[in-house]
Amino acid sequence: MTTKNGNLNDGREVYFSGGRLSDLTSDPVFARTLSVIQRYYKLRETDASMSFPGIDGTSISKLFLTPHSASDLSEKRAVYEKIARESFGMLGRTPDFIDTGIAVLPHYADVLGADGRTDYAENAKQWAKMVRRQDLFVSHAIQNPQVDRSRGLQDLLDAGEEFAGVWIKEEREDGVIVRGAKQVNTLAPFADQLLVFNLPGLSIEDSKFALAFWLPLNAAGLKVVCRKPTFRAGSLADHPLANAFDEMDAMLIFDDVFIPNENLLVCGDVALSNAFFGASGLFVHTAHQDEVRGSVKLEFATAIAVRLAEKLGLTEFTRVQEMLGGLTVNLELIRAAVLASELTGHFEGEVFTPNMQTLLAVRVSLTSYYDEVLRVIAEFSSGSAVGIPDFSQFDNPEISDILKSSLSSPLISAEERALLLNLAWDVTHEAFGQRQRTYELLHGGNPMFAKIDHWRNTDLNSGKEMLDKVLQDARDYKD
């Protein structure tokens, strides 16, 4: 295992800042982020509530607990919260995201079936068992590059676009060779393994793209091409978040990568590929983790807004009080909805599953709530934050005393004021904060489609009965 022991130099091809990294752990961007991810494994060692005993008596991460009740979901929520608080909710794809879906995968795997090539259902069960036993960090790759969304994948491939998705280039007796690309794979450079699959939407002619499989990060031919960092020059005091960690996103290039039969979960079946995310149990259980993580992030941002108002002397203004009240109301609604998703869950076979309708409502609401708190932070802080000097000036004997005098108040010292305003700037205006904002907006899919999906699946039968009754009463009324 590479992530747990901190050794990412296992032969994986990671490209960053114009070249290939020969030592990921010596680069400050990767080293700092890895240290935050590893806090999950450190928590596992020190916090008994993070684990449960397996049948053979071994300690198993509670991420892999198959929930059989609302209480089990509550226990898993507590674990998600602890992991999220280590990064203030700012790392969205930590090991608990996909792993909590893998926990239930064996209970859904039979839908994957088998064919003359391999037994996909058994592959899924054996892979889930391995990930659970070794407590591996699995990242996922689902989005295709935005080459031309107006054309189908096979059409693009016929036109020579070999990297419009991941497709079967060659079929062999012992596996397949795939070529192509996936985009925006969050934290992929840090993972032990990748789970690659498609979202629904493949057409019948896209059978070459109908794939789901897993592979290690150091698989031959897999290239991880990272985006530009949000890391900034200067100290942690100047950039309390941007210089602490970067939730690195990457493009994945599959340059003729061999996938053994035993790693395949879907191969060539368009219907199964389209159904995989939902039918595997991954969608709803990863959504539960995601909204818990999002609630922690919203709580953190709300706390920043409240602290700014308090330390900048704004809390006596009625409008400011109303703004803060709006933020705390939003936070309370999100917390309550996450609880409701657990309490109104249902059984799917042996698995107790959270209420996806409620989780969809959280996902859509969090997007706007997080945007709202960022606007409040910016309004409270921007006029002051733009004038904060770099932190080293507080040690400059020529101006240190003047700075401390001019930036201090009875409510807060100059240094503490600068730290708070630098944090506010990081979360609202820096590349770090803007990337976080974009992440919350789009990581769960287009909010428009989430709303449409929620409307289509909402149970309004009781409401319709009341509506029909009042209309019928009006029809039957006689003066």
Q: Which pLDDT belongs to residue 465?
A: 97
Q: Which two tokens stand for residue 443?
A: 């990581």
* pLDDT of 7 higher than 90: no
The whole-chain average pLDDT of the chain stands at 95
Across the range 424-441, mean pLDDT stands at 95
194 sits in the region (left: phi over 0; alpha: psi -120 to 50; else beta) called beta
Q: Which two tokens stand for residue 87?
A: 């990064």
Q: Which two tokens stand for residue 315?
A: 């809390």
Q: pLDDT-derived band of residue 442, with 50, 70 and 90 as boundaries?
A: confident
Residues 6+ apart with CB under 8 A from 124: 105, 106, 109, 112, 265, 280
Across the range 378-402, mean pLDDT stands at 93
Q: pLDDT-derived band of residue 449, with 50, 70 and 90 as boundaries?
A: confident
Residue 230, CA distances (Å) to 34, 329, 376, 439 in order: 15, 31, 23, 13
Q: Which two tokens stand for residue 474?
A: 């009006």
- pLDDT tens figures, 114-170: 999 999 999 999 999 999 999 999 999 999 998 888 899 999 999 999 999 999 999
Q: Percent of the chain having pLDDT more than 70?
A: 100
pTM above 0.85?
Answer: yes
Across the range 328-354, mean pLDDT stands at 98
* Rounded-to-10 torsion of CA 98, 104, 110, 116: 30
Q: Percent of the chain having pLDDT more than 90?
A: 91
The Cα–Cα gap between 41 and 82 comes to 12
| Contact present, 37 and 3 (Cβ < 8 Å) | yes
Residues 6+ apart with CB under 8 A from 189: 8, 12, 14, 24, 30, 217, 224, 226, 248, 250
- pLDDT tens figures, 243-257: 999 999 999 999 999
- pLDDT tens figures, 55-102: 888 899 999 999 999 999 999 999 999 999 999 999 999 999 999 999
Q: pLDDT-derived band of residue 1, with 50, 70 and 90 as boundaries?
A: low
- pLDDT higher at 171 or 22: 171
Domains in the chain (CATH in brackets) are: 10-30+93-277 (2.40.110.10), 282-465 (1.20.140.10)
Across the range 391-400, mean pLDDT stands at 94
